[in-house]
A and B are shown apart, each in its own frame.
Chain A
Amino acid sequence: MQTDLVVVGAGPAGLAAAIAAKKAGVERVLVIERDSEAGGILNQCIHSGFGLSYFNLELTGPEYATRFIEQAMDIGIEFLFDTMVLSVATNMVRALNANDGNIYVECKAVVLAMGCRERTRFAIAIPGTRPSGVMTAGLAQRYINIEGKIIGKRVIILGSGDIGLIMARRLTLEGAEVLACVEIMPYSSGLSRNISQCLDDFEIPLLLSHTVTEIHGKRRLVGVTISQVDENRRIIEGTDRYIECDTLLLSVGLIPENELSSDAGILLDDVTKGPIVNDYNETSQRGVFASGNVLQVHDLVDFVSLEAERTGRAAAKYILDFVSSTDANRRVCNADQSEQQPEIHTIAKENISYLLPQRIVLEDHGDVDIFFRVKQPIRKGIVVVYCGDKELLRLSKEYLAPGEMQLINLNKQDITDDISVEVEVLR
């Protein structure tokens, strides 16, 4: 098989990247998806809250996905469903499905859009037995919203990420009793609106600085022990409490799904767990781009779509200007340009957990968006951006939370040296 651009994954990132690349002039775009339809996680996110920045409308997940799927169909993007990608290189993607067996797709560039997966009980090592009834919040969401199954009657939710909060409301409305949402940190990682409309509305207690310390039950979960933790997340002796329940949902974080990337030798960032990219979202592998939750776990799908569109356009530029151009000196991306251009890095300083992109290409003009997250909630802070030792920008912020991704926009003309960002906390 031959195509120009292969997009791995038909979730929100894959769809937006494919559409943008096609619109930018790439003739053939093939999206490979392991599920039997496009839309990814949006299909099971039946609640609303999507599209406010992108469409200026509050849509549900399926509605948001539909807008992209219909557009992709209209402009002639090709899809391969029920197909698993096995390996990726700039010019060759290998995949597998039940009808065609092994599929080799020759291509000019690749966009990685595999998304992320949920951390499990084993990722956070909760002691105890291994009964049924312990599952991730996203799996529960799939059982309830797609498969129509009831997962339990008395539920504890560990972790206050958005999916967990949304499931607290959904389960309550479906007749289950959600006893508590237990969060190890002294603050919630979910959006404030979800705490308000999913927990407070139903008087579900949010137990901060608490965690599940033991799982009980042989075949089916019969209860959990929860305990309070101190500021270093150590269990405080004597605070144990047993709660009878038949279901424990885990909403304890997401991890970008990068097995394909690391198998391809693509460099990953220790903090984001996604590929290290330049401002074109090009990975360390020339012509392989990444976008969406595979790159960094986002809070809002709107930002995924916008990021993926930039990535799709960058992939298109790479294909049209570089691969298809006879002029070998034209390059849009910086993977192996070190002699000609100083490599600009972005560096996370005080109170910042990560910056994205990690590299900036200076061969062209225009602006660059830099995303960051703070390490802990900050009331009143000043975001300071440095270029080398020189201060470039100061922005004062009323409230910064790790759950809310921040964005700064810089003009490339101002960038002459590495960019570092920090937040000064005002008291």
Chain B
Amino acid sequence: MKKELVCTVCPLGCHLVWEDGILSGNNCARGYTFMIDELESPKRNISSTVKIISNNHRLLPVKTSAPIAKELVKKAVRLLMDVELSAPIRLGDVVVSDIFGTGVDFIATRTIF
């Protein structure tokens, strides 16, 4: 089996080629893990925003604490629509915990006082 992919683990974006169990084009070991994940169970990180009540900000940026299964991405983002927080929130605070039982959280990516 042959599969060509762009490794999205880091901005170098290596062009990976997988041919019968052999990987070429990767610049580091993470490229290998990425290819295996893409073949078996692709995962993605998500960044989004949630409403926050504060003096000078309307939105708090958030991200997943780890990649989650690709097919959960759209559903996970929808979870955030009902969230409304009040300042202060600190960078790293958990905003939604354990998304669909994956053990992955949405966490704040900045501090808003």
**B61 and A193 contacting across the interface, CB-CB below 8 Å:** no
**A47-B47 contact in complex given A36-B56, A145-B59, A201-B70, C-beta closer than 8 Å:** yes
A192 touches B46 (CB 8 A): no
Contact in complex: A147, B109 (CB < 8 Å): no
Binary flags per residue of B48-78, CB closer than 8 Å to A gives 1, else 0 = 1101000011110111000000100110010
A196: interface (CB < 8 Å): yes
| CB-contacts of A283-335 with B (<8 A) | 299-300
Residue of A nearest to B61 (CB): A46
Residues from chain B with Cβ under 8 Å of A52 in the complex:
10-11
- A48 CB–B CB distance under 8 Å: yes
How far, in angstroms, from A61 to B109 measured CA to CA in the complex?
8
Asked if B15 is at the interface (CB within 8 A of a chain A CB), the reply is yes
Q: Which of B1-18 contact A (CB under 8 A)?
A: 5-8, 10-11, 13, 15
Q: Are B11 and A146 in contact (CB under 8 A)?
A: no
Q: Tell me which of A36, A62, A63, A65 has the highest count of chain B C-beta atoms within 10 A of its own C-beta.
A: A62
Q: Are A173 and B8 in contact, with the CB atoms below 8 A?
A: no
Partner of A300, one of B7, B11, B15, B49: B11
Give the number of residues in A that approach B within 8 Å (Cβ atoms): 32
A399 to B14, CA, bound (A): 10
From B7, B49, B110, give the contact of A63 (CB < 8 A). Answer: B110
Among B49, B56, B58, max chain A CB count under 10 A is at B49
Asked whether, in the complex, the Cβ of B111 is within 8 Å of the Cβ of A196, the reply is no
Which of A47, A49, A62, A299 sits near B110, CB closer than 8 Å?
A: A62
A148:B49 contact, CB within 8 angstroms: yes
Minimum C-beta distance from B76 to chain A (A): 9
Judged by a CB distance under 8 angstroms, whether A118 is at the interface is: no
For B46, give the chain A residue with the smallest CB separation. A173
Whether A410 is near chain B, meaning CB under 8 Å from some CB there, is: no
Compute how far the CA of A416 lies from the CA of B11 in the bound complex, rounded to whole angstroms: 36
Q: Is B85 at the interface (CB under 8 A from chain A)?
A: no
**Min CB–CB distance B59 → chain A (angstroms):** 5
A37: chain B residues at CB < 8 Å are 56
CA of A192 to CA of B10 in the docked complex: distance in angstroms?
11
What residues on A are CB-neighbors of B74 within 8 Å? 173
Residue A376 interfacial (CB < 8 Å): no
Given the complex, which residues of B lie within 8 Å of A63, measured CB to CB?
Answer: 91, 109-110
Which are the 10 A-B pairs with shortest beta-carbon distances?
A62-B110, A192-B13, A46-B61, A193-B13, A196-B6, A193-B8, A192-B6, A60-B109, A47-B47, A197-B8
- Report 5 cross-chain contacts, Cβ distance below 8 Å, ordered by A residue: A60-B61, A60-B63, A61-B61, A146-B59, A300-B11
